[in-house]
Chains A and B, each alone.
Chain A
Amino acid sequence: MNPELQGRTFPPTEPYLVGREKVREFARAVFATNPINLDPEAARAAGYADVVAPPTFAVVVQEQTLAQLLADPESGIDFSRVVHGDQRFTSTRPIVAGDLLTATLTVASVKSLGGHSMVTAESAITDAEGAHVVTAVSTLVVRGDE
């Protein structure tokens, strides 16, 4: 694990178009039962343009940024040793079907603890207008040699 990664910002990901059926598929997979997640009519009645994604849907977009980090030869992260430690989503507004989202990853911190490394990756997700939607933060624990 390369400590000089701390503070580094990666290039924005390709825009991700949030599809209505993808939102519904994801909602069913996380056992969502709220009609605003599943039924466009219910979502419109609640004031949204289309179905609203569950709170953890942002992980689908964030995933593209974590792939950038793990694929970077300079990061020195062995994917087979990575354990997901913490996860957080901080939203300005919910993700709605029809959104075109772009994610930009910053490596907030790299720490060593015992033989392990901990990397905190912050992915800021913005819409087509460039406005903030949600920031997804993952702490990944990279296990050292046993």
Chain B
Amino acid sequence: MMPAPDFASLTVGDVVAERSFPLTRDSLVRYAGASGDFNPIHYRDDVAAEVGLPGVLAHGMLTMGLAVQPVVDWAGDPGRIADYQVRFTRPVVVDPQRGATITVAAKVGQLDEAATVARIDLTVKLGDDTVLGKAQVRVHLG
């Protein structure tokens, strides 16, 4: 089993992981199939335009799903993720040619020593815009 990061060595404010995710329309189709969310605003330009969107959007749950992955890799085991929450603050438009690149930075937000739980706060951006608010992961490191 992958050893957990050493809880005692963590300090609030430490950046524990960073990763960027280049999304394409293919990523959206793949997520639609894997999740069963076939809302056409995630793959059809005509439908997106019809409902007044600026373009085809990534599924919010895809953004949420990928944003936690750097934390999973840092924690060493997906089973250590005890709680994960986000607020969807801004849509991610995925251009048919250029796609869209989401960047994630994961920082220690709070340390609960009694429970050996680290709260990791995520900054999730598309260019300069934050796309997830209050994105927090509670990781069990005991």
Q: Kindly provide the distance from the CB of B139 to the nearest chain A CB, expressed in whole angstroms.
A: 10
Q: Check if A87 sits within 8 Å of B35, measured CB to CB.
A: no
Q: Check if B34 sits within 8 Å of A54, measured CB to CB.
A: no
Contact pattern, A 1-41, Cβ under 8 Å of B = 1, otherwise 0:
00000000000000000000010011011111110110000
A56 CB-CB contact with B under 8 Å? yes
Which of chain A's residues has its CB closest to B138's CB?
A90
**Which of the candidate stretches B57-65, B106-114, B122-130 sits at the interface with the other chain?**
B57-65
Q: Check if A55 sits within 8 Å of B1, measured CB to CB.
A: no
Q: With the chains together, A52 CA to B66 CA distance in Å?
A: 16
Q: 9 A-B pairs, CB-CB below 8 angstroms?
A: A26-B34, A29-B62, A30-B69, A31-B65, A32-B72, A45-B1, A55-B65, A55-B81, A86-B86
- Size of chain B's interface in residues, with CB distance under 8 A? 36
Q: With the chains together, A86 CA to B33 CA distance in Å?
A: 22
A85 CB-CB contact with B under 8 Å? yes
The residues of A with any CB-CB pair to B shorter than 8 Å are: 22, 25-26, 28-34, 36-37, 45-48, 52-56, 59-60, 63, 80, 83-91, 93-94
Residues of B within 8 A of A88 (CB): 83-86
Q: Check if B1 sits within 8 Å of A56, measured CB to CB.
A: no
The residues of B with any CB-CB pair to A shorter than 8 Å are: 1-2, 21, 27, 30-31, 33-37, 51, 60-62, 64-66, 68-69, 72-73, 76-79, 81-88, 134, 137
Q: Check if B33 sits within 8 Å of A29, measured CB to CB.
A: yes
Q: State the main secondary structure of chain A at its contact with B.
A: mixed
Residues of B within 8 A of A32 (CB): 69, 72, 78
Q: With the chains together, A93 CA to B80 CA distance in Å?
A: 9
Residues of A within 8 A of B33 (CB): 25, 29
Known: A26-B35, A32-B69. A94 touches B81 (CB 8 A): yes
Residues of A within 8 A of B78 (CB): 32, 34, 36-37, 52-55, 94
Of A22, A28, A29, A86, most B-chain CB atoms within 10 Å: A29
Q: With the chains together, A85 CA to B21 CA distance in Å?
A: 22
Known: A86-B88, A87-B60. A31 touches B81 (CB 8 A): no
Known: A88-B83, A88-B85. A56 touches B31 (CB 8 A): no
Q: Check if B84 sits within 8 Å of A36, measured CB to CB.
A: no
Cross-chain contact of A36 among B31, B79, B83, B85 (Cβ < 8 A): B79
Cross-chain contact of A87 among B69, B76, B82, B85 (Cβ < 8 A): B85
Q: Check if B35 sits within 8 Å of A55, measured CB to CB.
A: no
